[in-house]
């Protein structure tokens, strides 16, 4: 199955409709034994530019309901982790924010030479989402993860490969061909039950509890940060293509008990 993020005019920015569509596609793939692998790619020149911020910080505000809020990016990533099918990311262009975070739950990240990655949260005045505060250090190590998370800078495919984020880097023309080759290797030479249970063993042992905790923590931090003036400034600066001017004071503004309820569980 090929899942294509298809809003090229916005570099395939993530919104609730796209997130639901991806999850529905994973549901269909898991229920269909003729599907042996899932390829995820983007339409046009981008993979996924991150959350759709056309509505400003409202993109990160939790809905009003009776249950505990859970970050939408984390819901998507945890669904990818739970799939019984191998997932191959064919990263064709810019992948930022949730666009970068969602690739962390994929088993292969085949990256075009023209791709770029950015865990840009700190530059927007918000925090990591999509369980990236756990998955990124797991995959590339805490030193490299912090270098990318704390600066929020965008980096190229060569750096992604050197850092262990990319499985391999290929020319743009070869990207989907290489993704199909990996999918065909799985389909032609492996047993579907073995693959499904191997993926469950690896991700299950890593993810049970850890992803849930990361999701819960991020679901507290992101909404809290999104309500600060720095988040409004970070998003406005991005939309206006100018440097941000942040005014937050960590020594005074972060509540001492912000994460206590989650850590106590």
Q: Is the dihedral of CA 129, 134, 135, 141 positive or negative?
A: positive
**CATH code at 254?**
3.90.226.10
User: What backbone torsions phi and psi does residue 56 show, to the nearest 5 degrees?
Assistant: 70, -145
- 32 contact partners, CB below 8 Å, separation of at least 6: 1
∠ at Cα 264 (262, 265), nearest 5°?
A: 70
Q: Please, which residues bridge with residue 90 across strands?
A: 41, 110
Question: What is the model's pLDDT at position 58?
Answer: 60
Tally of residues, the chain: 265
∠ at Cα 107 (102, 110), nearest 5°?
A: 80
pLDDT digits (tens, 9 = 90+) for 149-195: 999 999 999 999 999 999 999 999 999 999 999 999 999 999 999 99
By CB atoms closer than 10 A (0-12, 13-18, 19+), residue 236 is middle
Matching residue, tokens 């799939």 = 83
pLDDT digits (tens, 9 = 90+) for 42-68: 999 999 999 987 766 565 566 556 567
> Per-residue DSSP letters for 138-169?
HHH-HHHHHHHHHH--EEEHHHHHHTT--SEE
Q: Which two tokens mark 139?
A: 């995959």
- CA-wise closest residue to 3 among 78, 76, 64, 62: 76
Give residue 200's domain range.
2-261
pLDDT digits (tens, 9 = 90+) for 84-111: 999 999 999 999 999 999 999 999 999 9
Matching residue, tokens 């639901």 = 20
Cβ atoms of 132 and 52 within 8 Å: the answer is no
Question: What is the model's pLDDT at position 251?
Answer: 87
Q: Please, which residues bridge with residue 40 across strands?
A: 3, 89
Cβ atoms of 129 and 73 within 8 Å: the answer is yes
Cβ atoms of 46 and 97 within 8 Å: the answer is no
| Among 63-77, 111-125, 197-211, 243-257, the least confident range | 63-77
Cβ atoms of 43 and 190 within 8 Å: the answer is no
Question: What is the model's pLDDT at position 64?
Answer: 55
Question: What is the model's pLDDT at position 195?
Answer: 97
Between CA 200 and CA 168 the distance in angstroms is 23
pLDDT digits (tens, 9 = 90+) for 188-242: 999 999 999 999 999 988 887 788 889 989 988 988 998 999 999 999 999 899 9
Q: What is the mean pLDDT of residues 116-135?
A: 95
Q: What is the mean pLDDT of residues 114-143?
A: 96
Question: What is the model's pLDDT at position 194?
Answer: 97
Between CA 81 and CA 146 the distance in angstroms is 23
Number of structural domains (the chain) is 1
């Amino acid at each position: 199955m090929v899942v294509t993020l298809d809003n090229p005019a916005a570099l395939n920015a993530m919104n609730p409709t796209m997130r639901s569509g991806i999850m529905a596609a994973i549901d269909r793939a898991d229920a269909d034994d003729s599907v042996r692998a899932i390829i995820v790619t983007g339409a046009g020149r981008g993979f996924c530019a991150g959350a759709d911020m056309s509505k400003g910080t409202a993109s990160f505000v939790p809905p009003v309901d009776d249950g505990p809020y859970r970050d939408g990016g984390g819901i998507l990533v945890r669904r990818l982790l739970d799939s019984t099918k191998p997932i191959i990311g064919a990263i064709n262009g810019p992948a930022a924010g949730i666009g970068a975070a969602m690739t962390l739950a994929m088993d292969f990240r085949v990256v075009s030479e023209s791709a770029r990655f950015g865990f840009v949260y700190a530059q927007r005045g918000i925090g990591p989402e999509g369980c990236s505060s756990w998955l990124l250090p797991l995959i590339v190590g805490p030193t490299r993860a912090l270098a990318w998370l704390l600066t929020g800078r965008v980096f190229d495919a060569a750096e992604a490969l050197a850092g262990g984020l990319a499985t391999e880097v290929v020319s743009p023309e070869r990207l989907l061909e290489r993704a199909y080759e990996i999918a065909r290797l799985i389909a032609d030479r492996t047993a579907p039950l073995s693959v499904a249970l191997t993926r469950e063993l690896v991700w299950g042992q890593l993810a049970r509890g850890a992803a849930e905790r990361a999701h819960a923590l991020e679901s507290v931090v992101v909404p809290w940060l999104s309500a600060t003036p720095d988040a409004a400034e970070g998003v406005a600066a991005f939309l206006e293509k100018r440097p941000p001017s942040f005014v937050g004071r960590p020594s005074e503004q972060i509540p001492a008990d912000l994460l206590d309820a989650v850590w106590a569980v």
